[in-house]
């Protein structure tokens, strides 16, 4: 009898002990959870890339608001959702400052991941900082392929690469009936890694597809006069143009083409014309210009309608939404998904989760190749009467491609 009572007392004591231990360990566990998930980004909010940086900023902020309005990101190791805290710094369109400020986000702010900035030039610097610091980096508006051949492990880019963009240019030319199809290509080659890489593909694909590059000229990343290039292209009879200028350069090129009465049937300028503010700056002169199209506001993927609605609530006077807005929103979706699947704020676990991404974003399905480049669908958009219309691929197009008439007939 005494033994039974003793066992019962011991059992009761053990039970109370276990409950108390669970209570205190759970309380301690909760106390160690951070208040937020810190993510860092360095974006050009001033300088020559600022118009693109502002689109990226808006996309990030809308995406994070949507996630935080729903409680944040579920982090299994803390047993609850945590809001995302985005720490954004301005690199002033200077790659040296990109690197320095990403280092600060790593060493001082202790961010668990990076989101990219705007333009290949600045993002290449960002990629290197991410790899050096072993901080997962998810970048948008990065198209140059070379850095992905360096064996980086922490770098992911859900964006179109140089070869995708050049291929889309030739695909759109191939779609034009033969009597109207341009066959003589003018290429203006920006002297950056991305520009040179695109130039290589322009020449390679021209030979394979039966086109002739009749003028292939170089310009500096800081160039602000393109009249000699335009006159050479006009003299050579080039009826299609491809280039990857900065946003300000893309405006100068089109204005000088009008001044010099050069009107190729197809003009594709990747970067610049794909921004929200391009029509505001160019007006009707933007019509017929083609640019990047791997996101569009009409896409029927989850959350895209909500993104578009919230964008126009913030900017009711805008006619179209720049590509970087949708690309940036998708990058946040991808990173938040990886954190949830990792169940942890450990950078290596987040990196491992990113490598196995298989997610439908506002721009469609996204996976990553072993080198970190994205497997995504891709097309081109064209300015038509103040709206950016998706003109390729055909199955997703919102409008047919318009062939540009001479300037005096517009």
pLDDT given for residue 319 in this prediction: 86
Sorted by where each starts, the structural domains of the chain and their CATH numbers stand as 37-160+300-375 (3.40.50.2300), 163-293+380-409 (3.40.50.2300)
The residue-averaged pLDDT of 372-399 equals 92
What pTM value is reported for the model? 0.89
Cα(285)–Cα(235) distance, integer angstroms: 22
Count helices and strands (H / E) in the chain.
12, 17
Name, in order, each residue with C-beta under 8 angstroms of 103's C-beta and a sequence gap of 6 or more: 129, 133
The residue-averaged pLDDT of 74-98 equals 97
Whether residue 393 has a cis bond before it, omega within 30° of 0: yes
What are the structure tokens assigned to 145, written together?
């392929």
What are the structure tokens assigned to 122, written together?
């600045």
The residue-averaged pLDDT of 58-62 equals 98
3-class SS of residue 166: helix
Cα(63)–Cα(112) distance, integer angstroms: 18
**1-15, 330-344, 376-390: the lowest-pLDDT one:** 1-15
φ, ψ for residue 217, nearest 5 deg: -120, 150
Q: What is the mean pLDDT of the chain?
A: 92
CA nearest 308: which of 83, 59, 142? 59
pLDDT tops 80 at residue 232 = yes
pLDDT tops 80 at residue 76 = yes
What are the structure tokens assigned to 353, written together?
């989760």
What are the structure tokens assigned to 199, written together?
């130039």
pLDDT band at 30 (very low <50, low <70, confident <90, very high): very low
pLDDT tops 60 at residue 5 = no
The residue-averaged pLDDT of 279-293 equals 95
Continuous H helices in 184-295: 193-209, 227-235, 247-259, 278-282
Q: Please, are residues 172 and 401 in contact by the beta-carbon 8 Å criterion?
A: yes
Question: CA torsion angle for 219, 223, 224, 225 (degrees, to 10)?
Answer: -40
How does pLDDT run across 110-168, given as a tens digit for each residue? 999 999 999 999 999 999 999 999 999 999 899 999 999 999 999 999 999 999 999 99
pLDDT given for residue 19 in this prediction: 42
pLDDT given for residue 33 in this prediction: 84
136 secondary structure, DSSP code: -
pLDDT tops 80 at residue 18 = no
Q: Please, are residues 160 and 376 in contact by the beta-carbon 8 Å criterion?
A: yes
pLDDT given for residue 32 in this prediction: 84
Termini Cα distance of the chain: 105
pLDDT given for residue 394 in this prediction: 87
pLDDT given for residue 117 in this prediction: 96
pLDDT given for residue 10 in this prediction: 52
pLDDT tops 60 at residue 213 = yes
pLDDT given for residue 375 in this prediction: 93
Q: Please, are residues 276 and 247 in contact by the beta-carbon 8 Å criterion?
A: no
What are the structure tokens assigned to 284, written together?
């009707």
3-class SS of residue 47: coil
pLDDT tops 50 at residue 208 = yes
* Residue matched to tokens 């890694």: 193
Q: Provide the β-strand partners of residue 39.
A: 86, 113
Q: Please, are residues 334 and 356 in contact by the beta-carbon 8 Å criterion?
A: no
């Amino acid at each position: 009898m005494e033994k039974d009572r003793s066992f019962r007392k011991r059992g009761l004591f053990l039970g109370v002990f276990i409950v108390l231990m669970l209570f205190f360990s759970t309380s301690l566990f909760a106390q160690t959870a951070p208040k937020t998930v810190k993510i860092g980004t360095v974006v050009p909010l001033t300088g020559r890339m600022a118009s693109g940086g502002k689109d990226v900023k808006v996309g990030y902020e809308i995406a994070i608001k949507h996630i935080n309005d729903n409680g944040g990101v579920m982090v299994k190791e803390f047993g609850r959702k945590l809001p995302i805290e985005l720490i954004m710094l301005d690199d002033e369109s200077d790659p040296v400052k990109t690197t320095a400020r990403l280092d600060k986000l790593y060493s001082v702010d202790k961010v668990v991941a990076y989101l990219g900035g705007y333009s290949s030039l600045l993002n290449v610097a960002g990629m290197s900082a991410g790899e050096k610091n072993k901080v997962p980096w998810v970048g948008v508006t990065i198209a140059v392929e070379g850095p992905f051949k360096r064996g980086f492990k922490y770098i992911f880019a859900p964006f179109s690469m140089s070869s995708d963009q050049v291929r889309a240019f030739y695909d759109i030319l191939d779609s034009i009936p033969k009597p109207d199809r341009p066959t003589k290509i003018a290429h203006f080659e920006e002297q950056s890694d991305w520009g040179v890489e695109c130039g290589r593909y322009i020449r390679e694909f021209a030979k394979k597809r039966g086109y002739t590059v009749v003028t292939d000229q170089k310009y500096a990343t800081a160039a602000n006069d393109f009249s000699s290039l335009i006159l050479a292209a006009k003299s050579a009879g080039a009826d299609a143009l491809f280039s990857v200028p900065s946003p300000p350069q893309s405006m100068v090129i089109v204005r000088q083409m009008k001044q010099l009465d050069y009107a190729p049937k197809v003009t594709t300028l990747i970067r610049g014309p794909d921004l929200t503010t391009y029509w505001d700056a160019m007006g009707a002169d933007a019509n017929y210009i083609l640019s990047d199209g791997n996101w569009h506001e009409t896409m029927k993927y989850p959350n895209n309608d909500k993104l578009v609605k919230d964008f126009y609530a913030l900017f009711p006077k805008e006619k179209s939404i720049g590509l970087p807005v949708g690309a940036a929103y998708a990058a946040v979706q991808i990173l938040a998904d990886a954190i949830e699947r990792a169940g942890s704020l450990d950078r290596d676990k987040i990196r491992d989760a990113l490598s196995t991404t298989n997610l439908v974003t506002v721009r469609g399905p996204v996976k990553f190749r072993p080198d970190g480049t994205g497997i995504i669908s891709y097309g081109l958009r064209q300015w038509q009467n103040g709206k950016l219309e998706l003109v390729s691929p055909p199955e997703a197009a919102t409008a047919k491609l318009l062939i540009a008439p001479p300037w005096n007939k517009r």
